[in-house]
Structure 1
Amino acid sequence: ISDLNKGNNAIAIDNSQTVIIENKRNYQKIRVNNKLRKEISTQLALLGLSSADQQQRYQSALSLVGELTSDRYQKMLAFYENEQQQKVKNIALLALVTYQAKHASGQAQIDAINTISQYKNPVVYQTLNALQNQKLEPKTAQAVQMGLDTYQQQQRFYAGIETIFFGLSLGSVLVLAGIGLAITFGVMGVINMAHGELIMIGAYTTYVIQQLLPQHLALALLLSIPAAFIVSGLVGIIIERMVIRHLYGRALETLLATFGISLILQQAVRSIFSPLNRSVSTPEFMSGALTINPMLMITYNRLYILIFCFAVFIALLMVLRKTALGLQVRAVSQNRPMAKAMGIRSERVDALTFGLGSGVAGIAGVALSQLTNVGPNMGQSYIIDSFMVVVFGGVGNIWGTLVAGLSLGIFNKVLEPWAGAVLAKILILIFIILFIQKRPKGLFPQRGRAAEG
């Protein structure tokens, strides 16, 4: 085998000697195809078994699973006997027993089939499925069927865990989107149709900061959290001071007024940033996935957003339970005249409460910017879901918002595989309507004077 140069010389691969080419017709240029690439990959994997790095040996053994020949089997067997790390030995054992399941006979083949059925690697299903299509002895065929049943049972189990995780991640988005509305709608009684646009402002704040710090995505994302809270919160306070303060007690008028504000904010964003969607890059630490096993992988971005959701919830709970503002908010929401008589400036509390809810909506926009494109209409996708979460959980109860959001996220992901995304949302909406007929005040109704208003 020779590597032809432009001149009349070639280098022999076996001994690196220079060979003078007198007649090019005696030599044939090697053409790279998939078969050759696969062979090169296999040979590199065999070389990788002798690496000093544990991860390299593991990856090499993994790439040889299902690719062993009789010669490679002997090399893998010697490697297995000499390997000290248990993780690497386990994957080497899978490669060995996969070969035995294909080529052994009698009890040795049955033992190999029983062993590989405990693994979660996709090659197990491929191997057992291929054996099932062959003519086997009754005991061997029974072992193959039992192995397939075991593998599929594990697959269903981990698919269920994955569905729950995706449901929780969707639910965390719903909680983030709805928890700010739980304050403005639940505590203040204001139907804020511009809530989705406040989420959008938070997302655009993330986009702007990322444009200012393009080389520091992680720092930009961290700075976006307080920035989005401040920007959306200030916009919320301006809306409350200029419009909503004149409409308290008139729910229908607040709905119409805030719907008009939502259109104004959308058009303002179109004028500033253009109608096109903007893409926000994901920092490196949120990219990729956490591999629990070959059947279960958890994406980092959704995992971090789930953690972020609980962090925001706890922070908001502490603000409402442990601060003077939280005490005043609860006092005004339960009995406004008595709160005023005690010296609480209810108008100031209203503005700060609306700003707090708007700021939390902006934080939700930061999270959503990591999952979807940022655009003028992105808020419209979450306003209905936010109201459903608040109403289902119990108006004004942030614990109810948490439980309702996570529950609806799980219900949605459980229904999607057999009903489809659109029908799943319709079924959830029907469920909420029927539920509200039985429990008009939601899962966690308010108690005391707050429930009487």
Structure 2
Amino acid sequence: MNRLIRWLLLLLLLAALPARAQDFDALVSGLAGGFAQQAEAVERLGSLGDPRALPLLRALSESRLMRAEGGGVRVAPNGATPSGPEVIRINNRVRVALRGALGRLQLVSPDPAERLVAADGLLRARSAEDIPLLETALARESVPRIRDRMDLALGAARLGSSDPAVRREGVAALGATASPEARAVLLSALGTDEELAPAVDAAVAAIDRRLALRHAAETAFQGLSLGSVLLLAALGLAVTFGVMGVINMAHGEFVMLGAYTTVVVQEALRASPTLAPWSLPLAIPAAFLVTAAVGAAMERGLIRHLYGRPLETLLLTFGVGMVLQQVVRLVFGAQNREVISPPWMQGTLALPFDVTVTQNRAWIILFSLAVLACTFAAMRLTRFGLEMRAVVQNRRIAATMGIRTGRVDALTFAFGSGIAGLAGVALSQIDNVSPNLGTGYIIDSFMVVVFGGVGSLLGTLIGAFTLGVMNKLLEPWAGAVLAKVAVLVGIMLFIQRRPKGLFALKGRAAES
């Protein structure tokens, strides 16, 4: 019995196909008739939903549709400007019909961009006549972004229906989204139907709640993004200042050197099709090694003579920072340099609840956490970390145990400088590379280290993300400058109560 029903349905479908083909051919022939016949044919072709009509109607709107022998039509090639009596002329009524028909037919276009444009056009039109066409297009649409636009257009079209039940379906569909456009459509329909007013008010309130949650999520992500940048910039300082006690005012210049190393690596690999996509991953170890070498040379040549003299160390590193900036200006010039992000870091990433985030900043957050994990492993799980902690706690006893304290000092300073270079690699993806790149992060880095606790990696992590989120929460209310001032004042008040920060260093190093 079921097989018989399937055969009957198949026979009915096959019988309907020639009739539909005849209707299509007759409508196409009507395009060559009078203006009234043209407008009727255009409207019926638009409602037919046949993709074959799309190039014909486009040619008609561009004056490239011509009469053919035997009463048919033909399309002139793109770029051609045909003339003569064979060209089919149209009037304003036909042009209006063409706009609507083309918008409907684009919903069945094989090009996703055209389908998206068509959905936007039908969302603006808000016509109940488009409901069947949108329902049909939704049933076969597979691209999530286009489906969302079609859902909005369908909800807006249902609001224009004369059936109260259909209008309530439209309100419910629009109210289930978190779209500002859906909110605007609902507000525009608020005064047209008193019976729907309570449902519209409830739908608008639901959209407002979702928009508030989405805004909070996006603000939190922006704060985490800023916090990840501060974490990368402060990690190296947590080693050189928090562990060694050296106030390195050239720390921002080490960040800048890491960014310029990324520029050099990208320029060197630009001509290689195989290595060019890997220029950013290859720049990570290169930036670490370059800045670590400069840091080791700086510690062995200058800083080791000034241990225990913090004021002289501050002035010395400040001067070294100015020298590094001038050297970079002489070598690379004073103009900004741009680093092109790889394809996998470009674009946006759609998260649940319509939250969109930029992929480059999402990767930087992951990168900062990976660098933090590697730093923790190096300090807690390696012999170098053990010797470094021993020298910090008691230099004399460490020396009597055979630890070469001078070598440990050089390696520790080089390690902290190398981490600053990694921060420069990350910053090159979100900011232009210039000789002054690191200057804006040195004060923030010191604030993170002091707020989190000198020498504490956990405190650096919590301090960086706390300051980043607080900055982004205050910026909409006070502006970027006043928000940073408010955060600075808050840290000053906090340090008055807890001079050693969130996580105070314990042991002999804290007592000395």
Fold-level match, TM-score > 0.5?
A: yes
2:170 paired residue number: 112
**How do 1:87-98 residues align onto structure 2 when only pairs under 5 Å count?**
92-98=150-156
| Residue 499 (structure 2) pairs with residue 440 (structure 1) | yes
Deviation at 1:131, TM superposition (A): 1.3
Deviation at 1:91, TM superposition (A): 6.0
Tell me if structure 2 keeps the 8 A contact 1:179–1:357: yes
CA distance in 2: counterparts of 1:341 and 1:207, whole angstroms: 45
| Residue 405 (structure 2) pairs with residue 346 (structure 1) | yes
CA distance in 2: counterparts of 1:270 and 1:20, whole angstroms: 60
Tell me if structure 2 keeps the 8 A contact 1:217–1:281: no
Name which of 277, 284, 288 aligns with 1:225.
284
Deviation at 1:119, TM superposition (A): 1.3
Q: 1:403 to 1:11 in 2, by over 3 A?
A: farther
1:311 paired residue number: 370
Deviation at 1:283, TM superposition (A): 1.1
Q: 1:314 to 1:10 in 2, by over 3 A?
A: same
Letter of the structure 1 residue corresponding to residue 343 of structure 2: E
Q: 1:95 to 1:236 in 2, by over 3 A?
A: same
| Residue 193 (structure 2) pairs with residue 136 (structure 1) | yes
2:108 paired residue number: 47
Deviation at 1:77, TM superposition (A): 3.0
1:204 paired residue number: 260
Deviation at 1:398, TM superposition (A): 1.2
Deviation at 1:292, TM superposition (A): 2.4
SS at match of 1:103: coil
Tell me if structure 1 keeps the 8 A contact 2:128–2:161: no
SS at match of 1:290: strand
| Residue 179 (structure 2) pairs with residue 121 (structure 1) | yes
Between the two proteins, the alignment pairs up a number of residues equal to 440
Summarize deviations over 1:152-186 as a string: whole Å, max 9, x none: 11000010011000100100000000000000001
**How do 1:3-82 residues align onto structure 2 when only pairs under 5 Å count?**
10=66, 15-16=73-74, 22=84, 42-48=103-109, 59=116, 62-63=119-120, 64-67=122-125, 69-80=127-138
Q: 1:256 to 1:107 in 2, by over 3 A?
A: same
CA distance in 1: counterparts of 2:455 and 2:402, whole angstroms: 24
Deviation at 1:135, TM superposition (A): 3.8
CA distance in 2: counterparts of 1:409 and 1:370, whole angstroms: 18
Summarize deviations over 1:263-309 as a string: whole Å, max 9, x none: 10001001111111111111111110012267410100000000000
Tell me if structure 2 keeps the 8 A contact 1:10–1:21: no
SS at match of 2:356: strand
| Residue 238 (structure 2) pairs with residue 182 (structure 1) | yes
1:267 paired residue number: 326
Summarize deviations over 1:372-396 as a string: whole Å, max 9, x none: 0111111111000000000000001
1:255 paired residue number: 314
**How do 1:325-364 residues align onto structure 2 when only pairs under 5 Å count?**
325-364=384-423
Tell me if structure 1 keeps the 8 A contact 2:299–2:410: yes
Tell me if structure 2 keeps the 8 A contact 1:61–1:91: no
Letter of the structure 1 residue corresponding to residue 74 of structure 2: S
Deviation at 1:451, TM superposition (A): 1.2
Letter of the structure 1 residue corresponding to residue 369 of structure 2: F
Percent identity at matched positions?
A: 43
SS at match of 1:276: coil
Q: 1:380 to 1:38 in 2, by over 3 A?
A: farther
SS at match of 1:186: coil
Letter of the structure 2 residue corresponding to residue 309 of structure 1: S
- Please, which moves more after superposition, 90-99 or 233-242? 90-99
Larger Rg: 2
Summarize deviations over 1:390-427 as a string: whole Å, max 9, x none: 00000011111111001100000000001100000000
CA distance in 2: counterparts of 1:218 and 1:124, whole angstroms: 41
CA distance in 2: counterparts of 1:402 and 1:341, whole angstroms: 34
CA distance in 2: counterparts of 1:301 and 1:331, whole angstroms: 39
Give the gaps of 5 or more residues in structure 2: 1-59
Tell me if structure 2 keeps the 8 A contact 1:202–1:364: yes
Q: 1:155 to 1:89 in 2, by over 3 A?
A: closer
CA distance in 1: counterparts of 2:346 and 2:98, whole angstroms: 29
Summarize deviations over 1:246-274 as a string: whole Å, max 9, x none: 00011111000000000100010011111
CA distance in 2: counterparts of 1:399 and 1:160, whole angstroms: 25
Deviation at 1:126, TM superposition (A): 2.0
Deviation at 1:233, TM superposition (A): 0.2
| Residue 422 (structure 2) pairs with residue 366 (structure 1) | no
Deviation at 1:42, TM superposition (A): 1.9
Give the gaps of 5 or more residues in structure 1: none
Deviation at 1:99, TM superposition (A): 1.1
CA distance in 1: counterparts of 2:308 and 2:175, whole angstroms: 65
Q: 1:35 to 1:20 in 2, by over 3 A?
A: closer
CA distance in 2: counterparts of 1:142 and 1:353, whole angstroms: 67
Deviation at 1:72, TM superposition (A): 2.6
Tell me if structure 2 keeps the 8 A contact 1:291–1:298: yes
TM-score norm. by structure 2 comes to: 0.79
SS at match of 1:278: coil
Letter of the structure 2 residue corresponding to residue 406 of structure 1: F
Q: CA RMSD in A?
A: 3.1
Deviation at 1:78, TM superposition (A): 3.8
Letter of the structure 1 residue corresponding to residue 108 of structure 2: L
SS at match of 2:349: strand
1:171 paired residue number: 227
Q: 1:247 to 1:40 in 2, by over 3 A?
A: farther
Letter of the structure 1 residue corresponding to residue 205 of structure 2: D
CA distance in 2: counterparts of 1:292 and 1:156, whole angstroms: 15
